[in-house]
Amino acid sequence: MQGYNLVFPGVEIAYQYPIINHIISEEKQNKFVAQLSPVVDFYVQKNNHTGIGLMGELSLQYQSSQRINFEIYGGFGILAGILAGEIYEQNAQGDFEKSNFKGNIYQSWKAGLGISKSVLSKKGRMLSYHLRLGARYAKTPGAITVSNVSFGIIYTLSKKEN
């Protein structure tokens, strides 16, 4: 018998909307902020565990006066797996037909570091674009997957800034 642990990198694209934006401390125009957000992400790991995730996420950010932000984050939610490639299933007659791409539903956790840039939209909303490096862990009864590294591009839409 052999056992080994393999982890693999993935890429994610996400959209989040902070529902809580709590300023922990502020000095001049630099802020230390805690954000709580629902996040929808599309996670891609070639040949394995690509999926759509819905998570709640807590992010601790240092927001500089130049609107360049540094963060650590953690989140929990679900990942609906999508199988990459053709899926063949045998029907009652013994012939093979192509089946759907639905994969497992996983509980998913993630955590990591990130850097982002905030800009003010024309409508007065604060938008942030994050580049993240983190780890994702997903589990379903009978299956566990771990990503040692995930790269993310997050589009964050905040409430209208006065």
**Which residues form the interface with other proteins (CB under 8 A)?**
1-9, 45-49, 81, 83, 85-90, 94-99, 103-104, 137, 141-146, 148-149
Q: How far is the CB of 43 from other proteins (least distance, A)?
A: 14
Smallest gap from residue 161 Cβ to other proteins (A): 39
Nearest residue (CB) to other proteins, 18 versus 103: 103
Q: Of 98 and 122, which CB lies nearer to other proteins in the complex structure?
A: 98
What minimum distance in Å lies between the beta carbon of 135 and other proteins? Answer: 11
CB of 70 to other proteins, least distance (A): 25
Least separation in angstroms between CB 89 and other proteins: 4
Nearest Cα residue to 150 out of 64, 86, 75:
75
Which residue's structure tokens are 């909307």?
A: 17
Kindly state the tokens that stand for 75. 């989140």
Q: Which of 72, 76, 79, 66 is nearest to 31 (CA)?
A: 66
- CB-nearer residue toward other proteins: 2 or 162: 2
The residues that bridge with 75 in the sheet, in sequence order, are 57, 110
Structure-token pair, residue 78? 């679900």
The CA distances from residue 149 to 29, 36, 43, 90, 104, in Å, are: 33, 23, 12, 36, 21
144 vs 153, which CB is nearer to other proteins?
A: 144
CA 70 to CA 132: how far, in whole Å? 10
| Residue 49, φ and ψ in degrees, nearest 5 | 60, 30
Residue number with CB closer to other proteins (64 or 140): 140
